[in-house]
Amino acid sequence: MDIKVCYTSDDNYARHMAVSMASILKNASEENKLFFYILDGGISGETKEKIAKLNKIKEFYIEYVNVDVSIFKNFYLGHAHLTSAAYYRFIIADLLPGIDKIIYLDCDLIACADLKELFDTDVTDYYLAAVDDIGFFWVRRQLGRKYEEFYINSGVMVVNLQLWRKDLISKKLIEFGIEVGGKLHFEDQDIINAVLKDKIKRIDLKWNVQISFFEFNNARYHPLYQSIKQAKKNPKIIHYVSDKKPWHSYVPLKSLYLYYLGYTDFNLKHDLKNKIKITWQFCRYKLKNFIYILRYIVSPIIKGYRTDDKKIKIKIFNFFEFILCKTK
Ligand SMILES: [Mn+2]
């Protein structure tokens, strides 16, 4: 069976895309053939040659589609790790006119399984299928959404390109993006959620296990805690969300990225300064998680003794968090 996958990348991110592609090829069943469509924001010939060599893992088809990058040059970019390439996904339906359905993937993720089951998701009556973004609940209140509403992470999407073309979705996304300007928190993701919200299918969290699932504080208090726990046990795709990426920082499951990097022609060298930084980040991460776990255990005990003094209790823990923030 054919599985069609789309990435968007510029030359900087292409090496990470290659690692992601390596993980897909390595985990693909023999009977499934991979078709990669790359929305190309300026990937060099040399990089493309290195990517082509991934066929030593498994044969695949690849097509680079040029993107008119000027369309998005005035779009809002609030996060340092993002470039306007994040917005290219808005126009995939127009750039891939011969294709009716595709899996759209960010470059910062690793597949741990064959993608056939994901590609088979029935999206006939939906614009796309995706999973909940579990970080930052409060973002949901922006752009007229309600707190309880389903808010997707746009890093993994099964997209119904046929319906996008029929309903002129690219145009709607771009127009909305221009209209809202800097009122966004998560760039492209906010726009996709706001414009397509009525026709998004929710799929299992295992298809986009965001690295924030591993942070105690993020997961334990989340309404989807039970599903998060399940997804962590059996992840199909790991997504390195946030500005800390495995190629320059400590993140949980960094080793998974390094493992698939080994299957590519790219490499990664950390200098001493970088190594020290990563070690510090590791300690800090563990300490932070420890404090959150401690807070979780201790909170009900303190509550039992001093029900009228919540503020003191909160202050003690906020103090630790404050210290951690300052040492970032
Ligand atoms: Mn991402």
**Residue 172 alpha carbon to ligand 1 centre in Å:** 23
Report pLDDT for 146.
60
* Cβ neighbours, 10 Å, residue 199: 15
Report pLDDT for 148.
56
What topology is assigned to 2-261 in CATH? Spore Coat Polysaccharide Biosynthesis Protein SpsA; Chain A (3.90.550)
**Residue 244 alpha carbon to ligand 1 centre in Å:** 11
**Residue 230 alpha carbon to ligand 1 centre in Å:** 21
Report pLDDT for 189.
84
Q: Which residues surround ligand 1, an ion (CB under 5 A)?
A: 106, 108, 155
Distance CA 51, CA 48 (A): 5
**Residue 92 alpha carbon to ligand 1 centre in Å:** 17
Q: Name the pairing type of β-strands 200-202 and 156-160.
A: unpaired
**Residue 94 alpha carbon to ligand 1 centre in Å:** 22
**Residue 135 alpha carbon to ligand 1 centre in Å:** 13
**Residue 313 alpha carbon to ligand 1 centre in Å:** 36
**Residue 188 alpha carbon to ligand 1 centre in Å:** 11
What amino acid occupies position 13?
Y
Report pLDDT for 295.
77
Report pLDDT for 307.
43
**pTM confidence score:** 0.85
Report pLDDT for 328.
52
- Tell me the H-state helices in the chain: 14-27, 45-52, 92-95, 116-119, 161-166, 169-180, 187-196, 216-220, 225-233, 254-261, 272-305, 310-326
- Averaged pLDDT in 10-residue chunks for the chain of 328 residues: 94 95 97 96 95 97 89 68 75 94 96 97 97 70 62 94 95 86 74 88 96 84 87 95 89 93 91 89 88 79 52 54 58
List the chain domain ranges.
2-261, 272-326
